[in-house]
């Protein structure tokens, strides 16, 4: 397949914006980058390409906060259902019609955007926690595999575990890094990684390193609230474009 400069340009722009947001706020790389990429390149293309920079970004978080590993409980009632659902989601992504996938992505982004805006803070305890955690993990894992976005849902679940800040960031990186590994394996199995997409994924590491570092440095110089408003505005615009594309506009 010939190298596509247009696709690469869109990928670099989406990754630059998403990486800066992740560096500034600590979350949201796929939530920002996937809708931007999918709006121009298609959902499957965007989700596959995002796996390589996503894995590197999460490994970066895990390494940076590795001292918190001893504080992190392994919640298998969240990990096991979500990993299984991720594989099912990738299978769905592989066979589903592109318009169906785009509309699923649009719906998933809409739900998770609402979670991001509301920023609920709650604790899952006792029987309720044992019921809600695996069910939410199944939904989130499927959304991760099929739409490439599940951050706000799992970040909210992890928040309910009452971890310290560094342990919370470590757990996010660990869980989503595991998802990236599972998705990459499943996508290779389903022949979704072409040479072009693989090359684009590795080239996407350039804006990831540059703009995530800039975002981390800009934390004290730029109002996070103002930047969040700008990012959410972009996501809403991409949401409209995804719906338009999915409905055949």
Cα dihedral sign, 122-218-29-32: positive
Q: How confident is the model at residue 67 (pLDDT cuts 50, 70, 90)?
A: confident
Q: Tokens 């949201």 map to which residue?
A: 28
pLDDT single digits (tens) 111-154: 767 766 665 555 555 656 677 788 888 988 998 998 888 876 78
pLDDT at 224 over 60: no
Mean pLDDT of 53-78: 85
Among 105-109, 210-214, 228-232, name the one with the lowest average pLDDT: 228-232
- How many Å from the N-terminal Cα to the C-terminal Cα in the chain? 27
Report the alpha-carbon distance of residue 220 to residue 158 in Å, rounded.
26
Residue of 171, 136, 169 lying closest to 150 (CA atoms)? 136
What is the model's pTM? 0.80
């Amino acid at each position: 397949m010939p190298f596509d400069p247009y696709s690469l340009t869109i990928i670099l722009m989406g990754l630059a914006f998403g990486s800066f947001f992740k560096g500034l706020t600590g979350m949201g790389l796929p939530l920002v980058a996937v809708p931007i990429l999918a709006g121009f390149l298609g959902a499957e293309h965007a989700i596959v390409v995002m796996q390589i920079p996503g894995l590197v970004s999460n490994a970066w978080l895990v390494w940076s906060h590795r001292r918190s590993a001893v504080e992190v409980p392994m919640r298998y009632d969240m990990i096991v259902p979500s990993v299984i659902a991720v594989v099912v989601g990738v299978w769905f992504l592989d066979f589903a019609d592109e318009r169906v996938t785009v509309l699923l992505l649009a719906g998933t982004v809409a739900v998770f955007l609402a979670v991001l805006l509301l920023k609920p803070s709650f604790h899952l305890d006792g029987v309720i926690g044992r019921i809600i955690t695996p069910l939410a993990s199944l939904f989130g894992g499927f959304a991760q595999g099929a739409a490439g976005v599940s951050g706000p849902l799992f970040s909210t679940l992890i928040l309910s575990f009452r971890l310290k800040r560094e342990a919370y960031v470590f757990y996010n990186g660990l869980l989503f890094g595991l998802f990236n590994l599972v998705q990459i394996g499943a996508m290779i199995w389903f022949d979704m990684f072409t040479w072009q997409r693989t090359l684009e994924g590795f080239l996407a590491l350039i804006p990831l390193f540059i703009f995530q570092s800039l975002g981390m440095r800009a934390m004290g110089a730029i109002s996070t609230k103002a930047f969040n408003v700008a990012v959410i505005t972009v996501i809403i615009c991409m949401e409209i474009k995804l719906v338009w594309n999915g409905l055949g506009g």
